[in-house]
Structures are given as C-alpha cells and as structure tokens.
Chain A
Amino acid sequence: MSSETEVPHMREVGYVSKKTGVRWMPVIGLEVHCQLGTRTKLFCGCEYRFGASPNSITCPKCTGQPGALPVQNREALALAVRTALALGCTVATKSKFDRKHYFYCDLPKGFQISQYDQPYCTGGGIQLSTGKFVRLTRIHMEEDAGKAIHDRGDMTLVDLNRAGVPLIESVTEADIDTAAEAVEYLTSLKEILQYCGASECDMEKGSLRCDVNISVRPAGEPWRTKVEIKNLNSFRFVSAAIEHEIVRQVDAYEMGEEIVQETRLWDANRNVTRTMRSKESAHDYRYFAEPDLPPIHISSAFLEYERKLLPELPSSRRARYESALGLSPKDARNLTAERVVADFFEAAVRLSDKPKECSNWIQNELFKMVGDPELGTERFEELQLKPFDLVSVIELVDKGSIAMSSGRTLLRAMAETGKSAKVLVAELGLAQVQDTALIERWCREALVGKDKIVADVKAGKPNAINALLGGVIKLSGGKANPQVVRETLERIIAQP
C-alpha cells in the first residue's frame, strides 16, 4: 500500500478491510518515558541541560567510574510521587531500585538503575473525552542512558551528558483502540505532567519519548502478536505510525503472512515502519536489587505533602470554567493548555470578577505577545505582566478612562517596560478625554461641511453617525470617549 494513498479514517469501531470486509480491531498500549524536571540528575549532582557541549555535564558517578556510588535525588522522588497522585495511581509504601544489565556504549555502568518487580506505583490512568478510561499498569523510576551518535564519521561517538537524568516510565494497559485515542492520551499525559511541574514533556528536547505496542485481531477473536514501534519523535508521528502499522498488519494477515514479534522503527521520511531487530532472543537483564541503595520507604507524611502540592488538573479546571464561569469549551481548552496561563487567568478573575473579559484579553492580546520577536518572549511566563496588570487595564477600559485600542497599546507597553498602568497612561498620554467642552468643540469641528451625513442621521439611517464618530475620534487623536462623543453628536444634531 503506497504512502500516498489516503489512510482510511479510524473510527472507534476499528478498521474495516477494503479487501475482505473483515472488521479488524487494533489493540494498542503505550510506553512513555518522561524526563523529570529536576535540576540535577537522579543519582548525582550534575546539573543537566539540553544541548550542552558534549561530556561537559558528567562526573565520576554518572560516567560509571570504578568506586563511584549512586545517591538518590529527593526532588526526583517528590515529582514522581506527585505524578502518581495526579494520575490516580496507588503509591507503594515500600519499593526498591534494581540493576538492569545489558552492554552498550551509552550505558556507563553496564547496567541501568531501574525498578523491576517493585515499582513505586501501580494503577491509575487517564480519562479520555470519549469516556474511555485508559488504565495505567505501572510507573517506575529509572536513570537515562547517554547518547550514541552514529552519523558522524566512521566511528560511533558517545556523549554521556544525558546519562543519569531521572526518568519515569509509564506503561498503559492495551486499552487504546485508535491513533486518535493514543494522541489524546499523550496530550492529556503531557498536560498533567506539566501542570504538576513534573516534566516539560517536550518531545523535541527528548523529555518525552513514546513507544507503541500494537497488534490487530478480527473483532471478537483473541489477541495476536504485538509489535513494538520506536523512534516516534512527535505526536503526529505516533498517529501516523499507528495508522500505518494497523494497515500493514491487516494486509499481512489477509495475505496469509505471519506477524513476527519484533521492534520496528518509524521512518519519518518514507512514512513506514521498518524492522529494527527481532525480539525473539529476549534480553536477559539479570535483574537484582541494587545493593548500593537502601529500599525506598514513602511515608504517609511524604505522600500528604505531595498531595497538597498537586494543582487542580486541567480537566477539572475546564469543567469549572465552563459551568461556573460560563466560558465556551474552546475558550476553556485554550486557557488550560498551559498551567501558567490557567493560573494567570484564575488570578485575574479573582481580582476582577470578569471571566469573559479576562478570557478575551488573554487569548486576543497576551497570546499574541508570546513569540513576538520584538518582545523577545518565547513563553507565556516570560511576559512581564501580572494578573493585576491585566485587570488594571481592563478596569481602565471599562471605566472609559482609556479607549479599547489604547488598552492594547498600554498592555504591550507594560509587557515591554515592566512599568505600571498608571505610570504608562501618563507617559504615553493615553487617558481618554471626557472633558465635555472639548468634545463638544471637536464635534462641532467634525460636523463642518457634513450636511449630507447630518441629513442621513436625521433621516434615521442607522449607521450614518459612525462616519461622524470616526471623524471626531480622529480629531481627538483617539483619545475621546466614544460613548460621550456619540451622545454629544446626537445632541448637537438633534438641536434645531
């Protein structure tokens, strides 16, 4: 099946083969690795950052020097536990680390410190918008490996900067049926982890990696051989790979071929999955409890402390914005996509009690400012604006002290300079003119030579006055209060 052919839309009812008319049901599970957003690595004090020069963030511990020992990062445990609570998992009072052995050039100790049979939490899951609940089997903590680079020269190069970074690996049950569900699951997972401050979940920086386990079977039949797909660097690729693989497996079965249990890589250039290695010779990881680390005991005090730090999660906030604040689902979704935005919005609402206006101003103005090269801000939290600042502007506009357009200017100036509304209104002369005498003079000036328009207004043509209005505003340099101008014009025109 060529890649140019349109892939049939996968509905929840599975994939109906064009060739045979058989309904095939995909069975999908996801393994997601997330880098925890700690400052330092899991077992040493190296301060990790993405993109650092090679081997500049390492030490005897994370390079596996003989005699070096691991000591666990408290914040990594805290974030892992917070994540588990956010996902509704059962956190184990006692768990442990295990050594997982294999030989590779990016694994300095020849084993990875991970968790095998006593992960720190089990259960939990994520509710999708369709009502489907995707269950989690377990989540465990482990350290990341370094990076092997194969495409520079005729040797493989090894950079151990990433070795030792804390990861959590979450494994779902095979509850997912479609590519769309997989993407929604991942989107929700990312949102939740970001909200908890546990992980950036940025696939481009490698802080979120996803492997897919997928099989298909005719509706009603038992599960068949599953295939693992790796090298999925974006949600888009996850979706494309799933859709491609479903078709590939169905086609193979319908042609009488076998599906082999194996690991396949997603080839983003050709939009296909291809064989990486066979999983038949399964790894013997020779797991045993890590003797250099004592067992992990998570007290109920620790749990309660982390539970208190849990923010209200996106889905709950969206429901609240819609029902209690009267926002549309679209607005609710936009405002909760990032926690900093949601927190900002809620603070602004608390100060102003004007949810719709806050929502509009944030979406229409603040979002535009993010990513504006002149402001140099790439993220929402980099804007030099507090909720109080936004509310000040809203109040000024609502009171008529400044025009709506001036409000936009003011907001931008506040973001650029960090100065307060009051100071900038004075500096930029944005105060709207309310002086009735002044406005009357401008009105009379604007009316000169506009007899035709005046006649239209008197004749009752509804929008005729707008042209006059515009003229007065222009004369005032945008400063006249439109409402007062309108009333003044109407009064003057009505005079005999």
Chain B
Amino acid sequence: MSAYSALDAVGLAQETARGKRSASENIEAAFDAVKALDSELNVFLNTNLESARALARVLDAAPAETRGPLHGVPIALKANMCVEGFESNCASRILAGYHAPYTATFVRRLVDAGAIPIGMTNMDEFAMGSSCENSAFGPSKNPWDETRTAGGSSSGSAVAVAAGITPIALGSDTGGSVRQPAALTGIVGFKPTYGRVSRYGLIAFGSSLDQVSPFARSVRDVELVTHLMSGTDSNDATCLDEPRMNCEICDLKGLRIGVPKEYFGGGLQHDVRARSEEALALFEQLGAVIVPVSLPHSEHAIAVYYVVATAEASSNLARFEGVRFGRRVDGDGSLQGMFAATREAGFGPEVKRRILLGTYVLSAGYYDAWYGRALKVRTLLRRDFEAAFESCDVIVGPTSPEPAFALGSKKDDPVAMYLSDVLTVPVNLAGLPAASVPCGFVDVLGRALPVGLQIIGPHRADARVLSVARAFEEATSFAAARAPRFFHGARS
C-alpha cells in the first residue's frame, strides 16, 4: 500500500473504495501530517478531528456500490466557506467564533461524493491579499522556503496540498487567490468559468469575481473536484448549468496557443520568463502553434479590479456590525457607535483600506467617475479576450510575475502587493476559466522556488483548459517534485 501522501485524490479514493485502505486510516494520516507540520507552516485556523473521524467511520461502513468518486479523501477548506460544525472566521477577528448555521452547496456535493472535511485553512483576512500577511492569525509559510509567502489569499489550502497534508483543498479565487498560491507552491490550481460553481456558502468578497477553486497535485484531481461541484443550485441565481467535464488528455497538434505580449513585459522577475518560454517551446514540440496576440487594455486591469472588487467588498462586509454574529464592541453605547467600534476593532488594516476605497468609489458624486467607468473598462477587457480567442484556442503565460517573495518584503507598500495580481485579475474580470500548473523552478539565493504556468480559456471552455493542462502535465514531471517540508508519512 502506497504512502498516504504519495497518492493523489483519485488514486486515494480508488484504493479506499476498493477496501485496500480505510477512510479512518486516511484521516489518521492527515492528522499526523497536521501534527507534524501545522505549527511551523501555520496551515489551519481550526480542525475538527472528531467530526472527521465520525464521517470516516460512516464511510468505512458504507456498502461498496454507494462509494463515491472521492470516497474517504480528506479535504481542507478555506476559512471563508460555511460548513456546519466548523468555525468559518475568514481569518478575521470580527468573525471569531462564527459557526455557520448552514453548509455550502459546493461542500455538500463533495461530502456526498465521499470527501471528509478536516479543517478550515488560513487565508488573508476576508480573502484580501496575496501573501497571507493580512491574516489576523499570522501568515502561512511556504513549504519550499518557510521565510517566504505561500501566496494568497488561499494560502493555507495551497500549503495543505503542497505539504502533503491533504491531497485536495478548496480555495476561492477573486483576483488570482488560488492560481497565484498554486504557482508559488508548485501545485495545480484551477478557477472555473464564473458561474460554474455555486457560490452559496462562500463568504463573499467580490460577488462578480469570486469562484470556488480547487487545489491538487494533479490535474485529474482538480478536474474531478470541479466536476463534482458544478451545476445549477437553486440557492444561487448567478450559477449556470454547466455540463459534466470530461477532460481527456488532448492532442496538442494544431492547438493554437495565444501568447499576449502584455504578459511578457518588463515586470517579470528572476527566471520566470525563461520557465514560461521553455513551456511554450515544449508545446511547440508537441505540435502546438504559438500565435502572438494582444490584450491591449491589460494595463488597466489592476485599476478596474481594485475599483470593482473593493466596491463589492465594502458592500458585502457591511453586514459585519455586531448585531447577529461575530464579536461586538460596545463603543460609546449608541447603536451607530457600536457599529463603528465593532468594525474598527474587528477588521485588519488591509480590510479597512479596501472598505474605505470601495465606499469612496461608490459614494455620491464619485460613482460615474470611478465605479461607473470601471464597469465600462471591464467590458473592454472582456472584449480583448474575445478578440484574442478568435485567433487562438487558449492563452498561456506566467501565473505570477515573480516566485514566492519574502514575508514582510511588501508590507508597507500595498500598491506593490496589488501588482503581483497583474497576470491573474484580468481572468476574473472577464469571468473566464484558467488553471495554473507547475512549470519548473527558479533559483533564488540558492533555493529552488516553483513557477507556475497559467492556461486561460474562452468563456465556458473549462474542459479545454484542463485538457491542455493535462497534456502539459503528462509531458513534464514537475508535478512529482516535493517541497522540503512535505509530509511523507509517519505510517502509510
């Protein structure tokens, strides 16, 4: 029997469903990993061993024909996801102790397939950030180099997978919050087309941008998890009826790969450009055709993103005022005073900054200048992609302009932090599907740090994106690399 962490989720589920291992053993292995690594890497905000063990027992007793495709697979969930029995505090003081009175649809579908949630992972507070340094509970550490960030905002979930604690984990991607951590930790991350997966139960940050997005060490895992979560939900009016995804490894011959010149500009650091170009060369070798394209409005994407996302965030976070849930601070004793004191004490500085920004761009007299304008530029950004996809089948480039940066290196410069999203936010603005797959390493001060390749597809072309990702994975061996802080197992 293989070591627990040597298997991907599909493999683990197959072995468990066939009885070669038990769900209970999987849970014990996962918690051994938690014990071994969590205190150093700061992955989980809370775990629920009893609940996981109980669910494992039920699964182990289940008759063979009822065993689902994720039978007995432990999964880590980002702390902005609502699950009964777990504390979903979004890494914020204002939600400390919040136990959601309902379970998200996307979680329920995975549990129905046999997955076992083991805990809530660390993140930037309310998903606002790219390094986890905005968590109220300290950042997660990158298993490739603990002095560096694992990216953000879905940091803990990325580390859970990259460190071998769980084979799969869920994050949320609003501006790159799953793709960028996947790139920085050397794993696969996939953001579906906006609307593929119901957002009911995902604590909202940017409503028109958020998507639940899986992490895994293999593309087939990410495909399976996405497929299981997909489909209409009567609880979400923005959820589309997207069909099952059957992502065969595609034949790359003749595949037209668009390479936007704007994504290969001067901002790329170290050898990120080299790794991306090597990947493109490999695609060519396999028969693909490289097509230069242009996304002319790319330079405005960050501005549009920060206007739209902060506006929506300022609105979505208005409900945190101490009346119905969360921590309350009395303030001057008046109702409005209580609101202000509760929010002042409960929100961290980055969240406050974004709420202020979002409130500003929506305020009377400024709507047309900022928000109204940004929505129109958003249309232009989407049109850029539509035009580009007329001459190519997928668009490829680096996921992040740089590998994992040192913790603390961007603390005092929010703008510098925002710029690390420049390659990922346009995808959320246009609502397109995109994956990040490992494409090699760069050497930084003697340490090997992972680099990710982003594959973007047209609207609803999720299957195509994952097929291309599979083909790349198949032709390379980067997915097999293991971080220095990877849990190989106390027992298998």
Residues of A at the B interface (CB closer than 8 Å) are 60-61, 63-72, 99, 101, 103-105, 108-111, 156, 158, 284, 286-288, 291-294
CB distance from B407 to the nearest CB of A (A): 28
Q: Is B318 within 8 A of A111, CB to CB? A: yes
Which residues of the other chain, A, contact B318 by a CB distance below 8 angstroms?
101, 103, 109-111
Q: Mark B195-239, 1 if CB is under 8 A from A, else 0.
A: 000011111100110000000000000000000000000111110
Given A105-B335, A156-B335, A294-B237 contact (CB < 8 Å) = yes
Q: Is B237 within 8 A of A60, CB to CB? A: no
Q: Is A69 within 8 A of B200, CB to CB? A: yes
CB distance from B92 to the nearest CB of A (A): 10
CB distance from A240 to the nearest CB of B (A): 31
Query: A61 vs B336: C-alpha distance in the bound complex, in angstroms?
Result: 24
Q: Which residue in chain B gives the minimum CB-CB distance to A45?
A: B234
Q: Is B362 within 8 A of A286, CB to CB? A: yes
Tell me whether chain B's interface is mostly helix, strand or loop, or mixed.
Answer: loop
B49-57, B286-294, B363-371: which lies at the A interface?
A: B363-371
Q: For the complex, is B257 an interface residue (Cβ under 8 Å from A)? A: no
Q: Is B236 within 8 A of A60, CB to CB? A: no
Q: Is A72 within 8 A of B200, CB to CB? A: no
Picked from A63, A105, A294, the residue with its CB within 8 Å of the CB of B238 is: A294
Residue of B80, B95, B319, B320 most packed against chain A (CB within 10 A):
B319
Q: Is B359 within 8 A of A286, CB to CB? A: yes
Query: A71 vs B318: C-alpha distance in the bound complex, in angstroms?
Result: 20
Which residues of the other chain, B, contact A61 by a CB distance below 8 angstroms?
235
Q: For the complex, is B82 an interface residue (Cβ under 8 Å from A)? A: yes
Picked from B95, B203, B323, the residue with its CB within 8 Å of the CB of A158 is: B323
Q: Is A71 within 8 A of B235, CB to CB? A: yes
Query: A63 vs B324: C-alpha distance in the bound complex, in angstroms?
Result: 8
With A66-B90, A69-B236, A291-B208 given, can you name 7 additional A-B contacts, CB distance below 8 Å? A66-B325, A67-B104, A72-B237, A108-B324, A109-B318, A287-B362, A288-B315
Query: A286 vs B318: C-alpha distance in the bound complex, in angstroms?
Result: 12
Which residues of the other chain, B, contact A286 by a CB distance below 8 angstroms?
314-315, 359, 362-364, 367
Residue of A70, A72, A284 most packed against chain B (CB within 10 A):
A284
Which residues of the other chain, A, contact B81 by a CB distance below 8 angstroms?
67
Q: Is B201 within 8 A of A67, CB to CB? A: yes
Which residues of the other chain, B, contact A287 by a CB distance below 8 angstroms?
362, 367
Q: For the complex, is B130 an interface residue (Cβ under 8 Å from A)? A: no
10 tightest CB-CB pairs across the interface, nearest first?
A110-B318, A291-B207, A286-B362, A66-B203, A291-B208, A284-B364, A67-B82, A64-B319, A67-B203, A67-B201
Q: Is B235 within 8 A of A101, CB to CB? A: no
Q: Is A70 within 8 A of B324, CB to CB? A: no
Q: Is B238 within 8 A of A66, CB to CB? A: no
Q: Is A65 within 8 A of B325, CB to CB? A: yes
Tell me whether chain A's interface is mostly helix, strand or loop, or mixed.
Answer: loop
Complex A-B: 16 CB contacts under 8 Å: A60-B101, A61-B235, A65-B324, A66-B95, A66-B325, A69-B237, A69-B238, A70-B237, A103-B321, A105-B335, A111-B318, A292-B236, A293-B237, A293-B238, A294-B237, A294-B238
Q: For the complex, is B341 an interface residue (Cβ under 8 Å from A)? A: no
Q: For the complex, is B347 an interface residue (Cβ under 8 Å from A)? A: no
CB distance from B79 to the nearest CB of A (A): 11
Query: A104 vs B323: C-alpha distance in the bound complex, in angstroms?
Result: 9
Given A99-B315, A286-B362, A291-B312, A66-B82 contact (CB < 8 Å) = yes
Picked from A68, A101, A111, A158, the residue with its CB within 8 Å of the CB of B200 is: A68
Which residues of the other chain, A, contact B371 by a CB distance below 8 angstroms?
288
Q: For the complex, is B122 an interface residue (Cβ under 8 Å from A)? A: no
Q: Is A65 within 8 A of B236, CB to CB? A: no
Q: For the complex, is B155 an interface residue (Cβ under 8 Å from A)? A: no
Q: Is A66 within 8 A of B235, CB to CB? A: no
CB distance from B405 to the nearest CB of A (A): 30
Q: Is A65 within 8 A of B364, CB to CB? A: no
Q: Is B323 within 8 A of A105, CB to CB? A: yes
Query: A70 vs B236: C-alpha distance in the bound complex, in angstroms?
Result: 7
Q: Which residue in chain B gives the minimum CB-CB distance to A292?
A: B207
Q: For the complex, is B149 an interface residue (Cβ under 8 Å from A)? A: no
Q: For the complex, is B100 an interface residue (Cβ under 8 Å from A)? A: yes
Q: Is B234 within 8 A of A111, CB to CB? A: no
Q: For the complex, is B311 an interface residue (Cβ under 8 Å from A)? A: yes
Q: Is A66 within 8 A of B100, CB to CB? A: yes
